Every structure is written in C-alpha cells, then in structure tokens.
Copies of this chain bind each other. A is one copy, B any other.
Amino acid sequence: MAHTTAHKQRWQRRKAARPGEILDAALELFTEKGFVATRLDEIADRAGVSKGTLYLYFDSKEDMFRAMVQNIIVPHVDQAEQLISDHVGTQRELIECFVWNWWEVVGKTRLAAIPKLLVAEAHHFPELAEFYVIHVVDRVRNLLAAIIRQGVAQGEFKKVDANSAVRVLIAPLVFAVIWDRSLGLFDKSDYDRGQYIRTHLQLFFEGVSHR
C-alpha cells in the first residue's frame, strides 16, 4: 500500500466505494418513493455518478435491489445467529436479546426499509423474494422456533405450537416497520415504538410462560 501514490489510492478507494455509495442512494430513494417510482436518474444523481455508471456495477435496477438485500441484510442474520449461540440465559432472555438487537440494528434504522420494500414489491422480484424467504425469514424463524421449543422442553414455556408462536412473535415487529413506512406516514396519531415492543414482549411472555 505504501508504495502506491496517494493519488492512486484515492482513486482506488473511490472505485471500491462506488457500489456502496450507489446502494446507499438507492436505498434512500426506494425508501422515500418505492422501487418502481424511483428512477435511475435520481439514483445516479444522488450517488453523484451518471446513469450509465450504474450499469458498470449492477446489471439492472432489480440487481441493485438484490445486492442491497444480500450485502446488507444477510450479514445481520449471520450476526444474529452468532449472538444467540453465544448467549447464555433463559430462553426469554435469549428472545428479548434477539428482538432488541434487531430493533437497534434494523428496526429503527434505515435498514428497516428493506423488509417494507420486499413486502410491497415482492411481485416484481420472485427470485429475490424467494431468496429472502429462504436466507432471512426461514433462518430467523428457525432460530426463534428452536429457542421456543427449547423453552417448552425445559419447562420455561407452556406447550405452545412453536410455529404459530414464532409467527405471532415476529408479526408485530415486522408489521411496525412496514406500517411506519406506509400508511403510518399518513397516521396523525403517533405512538411510542419502544413501549409498543415492550408491551408486545410482555404480553407474549405472559402468554407463553407458566403462571
């Protein structure tokens, strides 16, 4: 590295950084206007490149979306799995740990736009949708279902249907990020997201736990 000129380094860094910058711009715009309504001109403008340049890094508009999902979301699933496997404590603590971690790194960040986009425009991206279901949704569901089954086996939880319970556990979380980015934008009555999640977790655990 030291033997290269500063000029070249900067240029190389720019090149390496370009895809990320483009994806950032794209994510912003997709969030604001949806996938279909976002024009490539706008993405190029916001990323500070020309429209043609986009095609150096991505095959198509859809490919951009695909890259966004694969590069951004999947690593978070890896980390979540690691987090859980490293964690020690009750199953309830495990789940709460997962949920709040998700809330911190996805739910309340701009990344939350991705699940919303996928739900909103899954029609246009059957392959990506399938990929997402397999590599994100299924993994998360399996992760949580295992915890719940473990809780049931250990007597921490009642005998609940783990599959349904997982869905009931996840739904309010995902729904919140979707709502906040769709109809919620036109909802005069605001609410406290933290309180909402706490209420959800409290009710959920009082529901599944003995006593």
Contacts and interface: CB of A to CB of B under 8 A. Distances in A.
Interface of A: 32-34, 36-37, 118-124, 126, 129-130, 132-134, 137-138, 141, 160-161, 163-165, 167-168, 171-172, 174-176, 178-179, 182-183, 185-189, 191-192, 195-196, 198-200, 202-208
Given A167-B196, A175-B178, 5 more contacts: A119-B119, A122-B182, A129-B183, A130-B186, A178-B178
B119 A183 contact: yes
Contacts of A141: 189
A167 B172 contact: yes
A204 B172 CA distance: 12
A191 B164 contact: yes
Among A32, A167, A186, A208, the most chain B Cβ lie within 10 Å of the Cβ of A186
A120 B32 CA distance: 12
Instruction: State the majority secondary structure of interface residues on A.
Output: helix
Contacts of A207: 202-207
Contact of A176 (B171, B188, B195): B171
Given A165-B203, A196-B168, A203-B204, A122 B178 contact: no
A176 to B, nearest CB: 7
Contact of A183 (B33, B132, B161, B196): B132
Contact of A182 (B32, B33, B120, B161): B120
Contact of A123 (B34, B124, B179, B191): B34
15 contacts: A118-B183, A119-B119, A122-B182, A123-B182, A126-B186, A134-B188, A137-B183, A141-B189, A160-B199, A161-B199, A167-B191, A171-B175, A172-B172, A172-B175, A207-B207
A138 B122 CA distance: 28
Contacts of A119: 119-120, 178-179, 182-183
A122 B130 CA distance: 24
